[in-house]
Chain A
């Protein structure tokens, strides 16, 4: 079992992608199936950008064993009011400023769902959001 933790700073787009890149490096050394590696990294990158774009700060906790990769992304932020609505492709609450940077197209949650075997989102408005991403290796 391998365990990784990374912090995410809200609003700092220059660092968005750091956790995904670090985890990708490790996964390439561990996992033979590079397609699974790519999927989970793409999903994590989306989650990371969401935290940077919407929350004050967040954390990535990744656990890898021979069966699965489990990633928990937690943040302190505004939370998601209507998760079902947020899951719809094209829906976004991202500010104009964020969109100008090429983010906030409203495809994030959809992309996370498509690239994972299990996606769980729990959110409390005004407190924050927990996202759990799981990919099976076999």
Chain B
């Protein structure tokens, strides 16, 4: 798999984009601009949270996935499924039915991501105890959060717990298991059914490890449609996928809000929703929040149940998974001890740590501080001339961003429609010139309409 520094699964389809700036204003890291009527991404700022995908009114933003048929390049085709997949289906659909149908689509194995999270939780608790000076410790579970901290809160990278999230551990563990059975490594294809774009980025350009143990990614909405259509049409599975073990209740709930925090000791907080997370991290950075041991942060509202690639309403998914966890809690059909013992010894063999996470701050105005100060002064001056209406008509998220773009020579002050009107009135700008400027932002198409 090709490794790129900033692989983004989010792709803007130029043909579909109408240049409306909805994505520009919602983006939490101000990573999008509209030029020539089309949204464009600053690759080094994007954290793959998927807010733009949610917001786009014309579905011009898509989440690129691997071709499904790619699974057939491998002898052993493993579907790695997170518990939120099951939460997508109505309660009368059994997990075993979902997995059986999934097998019939071409997989040879189905493995649940959250197996053994109880052991991962133990490891995390020990880690927290051993890293007193780095408190509050922040979970590395959500890849969008890891990226957010890298670009927007560089001083907090040391607070991130350097332990693999369940996804990587599960993939490594299952691969190891197959290898032990004598399957050749080149024959093993591990495919993750993802609820979001950030997890794709984590697979394609991992942070804290050289290469992801996962071979490909299939979007959850695609799998849901494929499986649920079959189930609704009364298709009877040929392969009976017997669940050899069942997730623990903690495993079922792990990817939901408080899933991790509930299993940590001391003061543990859980925060979901990217804008809530940003608000809180500002406080953590100022050390306004004291004596907190652990923070679980998730980019999506209702965590993975609210992932951008889920089909079902997030609150229903949460309800279903909670119900499932209760049933599991009451039943005795837990992970067999034998399997967990194997998992534990796998984790003990140092398969769990990730490397240092480095900051990649995007906020500096210039590498040279003296130059950065000059630029900041210019931004201040320009901002005084701008209306501060933050209308976004210039194609940047707000007046401040436009001022910065002007200083960085990515935009002109004439891009502001308020300034244009003023210049026109003063006779310093002709109607034709205004027209040309607006064409460069909004694109020719908008001016060719017959209204």
Cα distance, A34 to B364, chains bound together (Å)? 10
Cα distance, A26 to B376, chains bound together (Å)? 8
Cα distance, A96 to B324, chains bound together (Å)? 46
Query: B367's closest neighbor in chain A, by CB?
Result: A32
- Flag if B370 contacts A66 (CB, 8 Å): yes
- Flag if A21 contacts B373 (CB, 8 Å): no
Nearest-CB distance from A92 to chain B (Å)? Answer: 14
- Flag if B376 contacts A20 (CB, 8 Å): no
Cα distance, A85 to B59, chains bound together (Å)? 63
Q: Bin the interface of chain B by size.
A: 20 to 34
- Flag if A32 contacts B377 (CB, 8 Å): no
CB within 8 Å of B: which of A71-88?
none
B299-313 interface bits toward A, Cβ cutoff 8 Å, 1 = contact, 0 = none: 000000000000000
Whether, in the assembled complex, B288 has its beta carbon less than 8 Å from a beta carbon of chain A, the answer is yes
- Flag if B363 contacts A29 (CB, 8 Å): yes
Task: Chain B residues near A111: list those with CB within 8 A.
Answer: 287
Tally of chain A residues near chain B (CB < 8 A): 26
CB within 8 Å of B: which of A33-48?
34-35, 37-38, 41-42, 45
Query: B372's closest neighbor in chain A, by CB?
Result: A30
Whether, in the assembled complex, B369 has its beta carbon less than 8 Å from a beta carbon of chain A, the answer is yes
Cα distance, A24 to B155, chains bound together (Å)? 11
Cα distance, A24 to B370, chains bound together (Å)? 17
- Given that A29-B372, A37-B155 are contacting pairs, would A24 and B285 also be in contact in the complex, using a CB cutoff of 8 Å? yes
Query: B154's closest neighbor in chain A, by CB?
Result: A34
- Flag if A64 contacts B373 (CB, 8 Å): yes
Cα distance, A24 to B369, chains bound together (Å)? 15
A15-31 interface bits toward B, Cβ cutoff 8 Å, 1 = contact, 0 = none: 00100110010101111
Query: A32's closest neighbor in chain B, by CB?
Result: B364
Cα distance, A41 to B156, chains bound together (Å)? 13
Task: Chain A residues near B377: list those with CB within 8 A.
Answer: 2
Which residues of A line the B interface, CB within 8 A?
A: 1-2, 17, 20-21, 24, 26, 28-32, 34-35, 37-38, 41-42, 45, 64-66, 102, 105, 111, 137
5 intermolecular pairs with C-beta atoms under 8 Å apart: A1-B373, A2-B377, A17-B283, A17-B288, A32-B367
| New contact pairs (12) apart from A66-B373, A137-B369, CB-CB < 8 Å | A2-B377, A17-B286, A21-B282, A28-B363, A29-B365, A29-B372, A32-B364, A34-B154, A34-B155, A34-B359, A35-B155, A65-B373
